[in-house]
């Protein structure tokens, strides 16, 4: 009787290990393959787990603020905004209008920066090496504004509980308007490079389809939900920080495949530039900090506040026991919840599609693992 060798096996388990250029961080995906077709995946995460939620219980409310930047380190300002909004909700204060407008400007600039980094690395994974350079060139411009404002490029610590740390520097409005004007033709340039490119379309269309019902079932939010056809954006549904004053659209598409998500994010970049321009043109005067005591001691209670981060719904559930230290800070990370849908999206696809889908999920492991 002939012996069966490994060549007779139909199922192969392949490890796309934590050190892999296409997994956008330390993500390990164990693939079960039949030839090159994927039968199932199992994500192993936790390589970047730093225990931020435990650290929060051992620092004061104000001291935890710099740690929050390290969650989604690509768009650090959004995390800071969500945390400050959550603590302000507990304290029942609202930042003054000038602070809200500057917060909106910086968050939108960061959203542009995050989508630019996403576009560059996603294109790089697919094989298009050029967009990375142009995207990082523009990201550099947005980071320069942040650097001039708060002093750091990546881990910005840009907001404080109750408002802003300092007045915007002289020339802030001019810089933001110049950036918005410079940026819009560049988006057209990226579209020229990629949107009609037959290789791009071939690699991305009908890959990783996630319908609207599946998105809601898996709790997927952000551009992925909008590409599936659900016109939902927290900035419009539950507005925060003065977003209801600005006029912008929510781009949606219908198919819910990777190509649609690309188009949605490109449109979002344009809308973000539009919001930033409106906010910079109409920057109100006034104080930059609400009446918050130096030692922040919210009354006993809890609150859940979420914002529309570039990756999806980023929420902070904060529990206070009346002291200066948080009792519990829970981060609801968009990338963690979106990553669950990976298994659903790559059933029956090829390995190259797994790479495309991980790219389109736009995960940042800092957020997934905390």
Partner 1 sequence: MPDEPKPTTPAAPPAAPAPPKAAPPKPPAVMAWTPLESELATELKRQFGDRVVEASSYVGQSFFVVKRDEVISIIEYLKVEANFDYLVDITAVDWPKRVERFDLIYIVYSFALNERIRIKTTIPDGFRPESAVRVHRTANWLEREVFDMFGIEFAGHPDLRRILLPEEWQGHPLRKEYPLLQQDQDWVQTNLDIERGQ
Partner 2 sequence: MMPALLKKILLGDLWEGLRVTFRNQNPKYIYTEQYPSQRPVVPERYRGAPRLRTDPATGKTLCNGCGACALACPEDLIVVGSERNPETKKKELVTYTFDLSRCMFCGLCQEACPTDAIVLTQGFELAMYSREGQIWDRQRLEEGLKPTVYKC
Residue 174 contacts by C-beta under 8 Å, 6 or more apart in sequence?
none
Between 182 and 237, name the residue whose CB sits nearer to partner 1. Answer: 237
φ, ψ dihedrals at 126, nearest 5°? -70, -25
Q: Output the DSSP codes for 195-264.
A: TT-HHHHHHHTTSS---HHHHHHHT--THHHHHTT----HHHHS--TTGGGS-------SS-SHHHHHHH
Q: Is 193 in the site for partner 2 (CB under 8 A)?
A: yes
**Which of partner 1, partner 2, none sits in contact with 197, Cβ below 5 to 8 A by type?**
partner 2
At 215, list the tokens: 């998105």
Question: Where on the chain is the footprint of partner 1 (CB under 8 A)?
Answer: 45-46, 49, 51, 53-55, 57-58, 89-90, 92, 216-219, 230, 232, 237-238, 299-304, 306, 313, 315, 317, 319, 321-323, 327-328, 330, 332, 336-337, 339-340, 369-370
Q: How many CB atoms lie within 10 A of CB 319?
A: 17
* Binding characters for partner 2, 94-133, by CB under 8 A (x = yes): ------------------------------------x---
**Chain residues 242-301 in contact with partner 2, contact rule CB under 8 A:** none
Task: Work out which of 93, 94, 155, 350 binds partner 2, going by CB under 8 A.
Answer: 155
The 3-state DSSP class for residue 33 equals strand
Q: Is 194 in the site for partner 2 (CB under 8 A)?
A: yes
Q: Which run of H or of E encompasses 39?
A: strand 37-44
Give me the least distance between CB of 81 and partner 2, in Å please.
16
Q: Rg of the Cα trace of the chain?
A: 21
At 95, list the tokens: 């930042």
Task: Work out which of 196, 247, 285, 293 binds partner 2, going by CB under 8 A.
Answer: 196
Give me the least distance between CB of 51 and partner 1, in Å please.
6
Task: Work out which of 150, 225, 269, 280 binds partner 2, going by CB under 8 A.
Answer: 150
Q: Is 134 in the site for partner 2 (CB under 8 A)?
A: yes
φ, ψ dihedrals at 345, nearest 5°? -80, -25
The 3-state DSSP class for residue 118 equals helix
Stretch that binds partner 2, among 191-199, 273-281, 285-293, 339-347 (CB under 8 A): 191-199
**Which of partner 1, partner 2, none sits in contact with 216, Cβ below 5 to 8 A by type?**
partner 1
Between 217 and 244, name the residue whose CB sits nearer to partner 1. Answer: 217
Between 138 and 257, name the residue whose CB sits nearer to partner 2. Answer: 138
Between 112 and 212, name the residue whose CB sits nearer to partner 1. Answer: 212
CA dist list (Å): 57 to 17, 52, 97, 320: 33, 9, 31, 10
Q: Is 62 in the site for partner 2 (CB under 8 A)?
A: yes
At 40, list the tokens: 């199932």
Please give the Cα distance from 258 to 201 (Å, whole number). 9
Query: What does the binding site for partner 2 look like in residue numbers (CB under 8 A)?
Result: 59, 62-67, 130, 134, 137, 140, 147-152, 155, 157, 165-166, 169, 189, 192-194, 196-199
């Amino acid at each position: 009787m002939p012996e069966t060798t490994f060549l007779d096996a139909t199922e192969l388990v392949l490890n796309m290990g934590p050190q892999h250029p296409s997994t956008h961080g330390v993500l390990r995906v164990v693939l079960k393959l039949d030839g090159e077709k994927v039968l199932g995946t199992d994500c192993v995460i936790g390589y970047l787990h730093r225990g931020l939620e435990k650290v929060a219980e051992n620092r004061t409310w104000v001291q935890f603020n710099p740690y929050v930047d390290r969650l989604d380190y690509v768009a650090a300002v959004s995390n800071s905004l969500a945390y400050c909004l959550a603590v302000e909700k507990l304290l029942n204060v609202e930042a003054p209008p000038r602070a809200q407008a500057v917060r909106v400007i910086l968050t939108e600039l960061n959203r542009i920066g995050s989508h630019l980094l996403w576009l560059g690395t996603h294109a790089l994974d697919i094989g298009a090496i050029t967009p990375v350079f142009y995207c990082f060139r523009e990201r550099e411009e947005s980071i320069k504004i942040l650097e001039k404002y708060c002093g750091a490029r990546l881990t910005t610590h840009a907001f404080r509980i109750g408002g802003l740390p300092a007045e915007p520097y002289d020339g802030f409005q001019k810089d933001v308007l110049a950036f918005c004007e410079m940026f819009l033709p560049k988006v057209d340039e990226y579209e020229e490079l990629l949107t009609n490119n037959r290789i791009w379309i071939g690699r991305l269309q009908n890959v990783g389809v996630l319908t609207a019902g599946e998105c809601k079932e898996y709790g997927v939010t952000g551009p992925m939900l909008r590409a599936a056809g659900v016109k939902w954006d927290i900035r419009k549904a539950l507005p925060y920080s003065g977003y209801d004053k600005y006029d912008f659209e929510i781009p949606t598409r219908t198919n819910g495949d990777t190509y649609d998500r690309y188009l949605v994010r490109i449109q979002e970049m344009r809308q973000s530039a539009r919001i930033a321009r409106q906010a910079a043109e109409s920057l109100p005067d006034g104080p930059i900090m609400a009446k918050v005591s130096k030692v922040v001691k919210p009354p006993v209670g809890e609150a859940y506040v979420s914002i529309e981060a570039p990756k999806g719904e980023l929420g902070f559930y904060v529990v206070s026991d009346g002291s200066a230290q948080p009792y519990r800070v829970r981060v609801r990370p968009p990338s963690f919840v979106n990553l669950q849908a990976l298994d659903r999206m790559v059933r029956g696809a090829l390995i190259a599609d797994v790479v495309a889908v991980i790219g389109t999920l736009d995960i940042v492991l800092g957020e997934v693992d905390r």
